[in-house]
Amino acid sequence: MNTPLLFEICVGSAQGAISAQEAGVNRVELCDNLIEGGTTPSAGAVQVARQHIDIGLNVIVRPRGGDFCYSNVEFETMLRDVEIAAESGVDGIVIGILNPNGSIDVERTGALIERIRPLPVTFHRAFDMTADPHRALEDLISLGVDRVLTSGREVSALEGIDLIAGLIEKAAGRIVVMPGGGITERNVAKVVAGTGAREIHVAAASSVPGRMTYRNPNAFMGGELRPPEFSHDVTDVNRVKAFIQAVTTPIQPNRGKTGEVRR
């Protein structure tokens, strides 16, 4: 590897951010509700994380789960959450807004970016729901977005490896294209080698039992489809270290007979 790979770990709590730092990563993306793909974390979680970690702290601003086409009130909430995150000392903010037709909502994204600056801006995996990823990439570049997170519009970045590689080539350094989604300790090296990415986004969670010894079997707090009541996911330091170890050995891209990189 010519340059070190930057690891961003998606975490669901301030404790997760602390664990990620202990494992030796470069940056965390702090979210709430990871089961829904991540929503805006509480101001308290952001502030406590900032107090305890020195590595990069990016915060997602997403008012709810579901799609990425927001009402006026939801957009107003995003504008305020951006201000709160910036006031809390974060290093970057992660956003994503689309139009109903699957294009980037350029007007609202631009308004958010104006509110976020001078902090860096990442456009999250709303990108993977765009109708035309190549047009979407150019729209983000024209808006001055610093980074886009993508699985290559597939279930996992490994399956989307060809599109990701093509987007990185098309970007030509104008924006960072960061693979993320379904990346594991077993496939991270393949994703890095196959795309040429210099930044990678992973989750490294494990389920642990809760601390409750009394467990009422007759009531639950969510709907019928819900995560387990008496266990929860935490950022696993050993898994994070395994990710890093998986790409510490130099990786050679797969080249054809003429020496070109096969995408």
Domain count within the chain = 1
- pLDDT tens readout for residues 61-72: 999 999 999 999
Q: At what angle do helices 188-195 and 161-171 cross, to 10 degrees?
A: 40
167 within domain boundaries: yes
257 within domain boundaries: no
pLDDT score recorded for residue 43: 97
> pLDDT per position in the chain (263 positions), as tens?
455 899 999 999 999 999 999 998 999 999 998 888 899 999 999 999 999 999 999 999 999 999 999 999 999 999 999 999 999 999 999 999 999 999 999 999 999 999 999 999 999 999 999 999 999 999 999 999 999 999 999 999 999 999 999 999 999 999 999 999 999 999 999 999 999 999 999 987 777 788 888 877 777 776 666 666 666 677 788 888 888 888 875 434 343 333 343 33
252 within domain boundaries: no
- pLDDT tens readout for residues 30-89: 999 888 889 999 999 999 999 999 999 999 999 999 999 999 999 999 999 999 999 999
262 within domain boundaries: no
215 within domain boundaries: no
Write a three-state SS string for the chain: CCCCCEEEEEECCHHHHHHHHHHCCCEEEECECHHHCCECCCHHHHHHHHHHCCCEEEEECCCCCCCCCCCHHHHHHHHHHHHHHHHCCCCEEEECCECCCCCECHHHHHHHHHHHCCCCEEECHHHHHCCCHHHHHHHHHHHCCCEEEECCCCCCCCCCHHHHHHHHHHHCCCCEEEEECCCCCCCHHHHHHHHCCCEEEECCEEEEECCCCCCCCCCCCCCCCCCCCCEEEEECHHHHHHHHHHCCCCCCCCECCCCCECC
What CATH number corresponds to the domain at position 241? 3.20.20.380
255 within domain boundaries: no
pLDDT score recorded for residue 143: 98
Q: How many residues belong to the chain?
A: 263
> How much is the pTM?
0.84
Domain range holding 41? 6-210+230-246
Query: Is the separation of the CB atoms in 89 and 122 below 8 Å?
Result: no
260 within domain boundaries: no
- 21, 188, 229, 236 from 24: Cα distances, Å: 5, 17, 31, 12
Q: Measured between alpha carbons, how far is 23 from 16 in angstroms, rounded to an integer?
A: 11
pLDDT score recorded for residue 163: 98
Contacts of 259 (CB under 8 A, 6+ apart): none
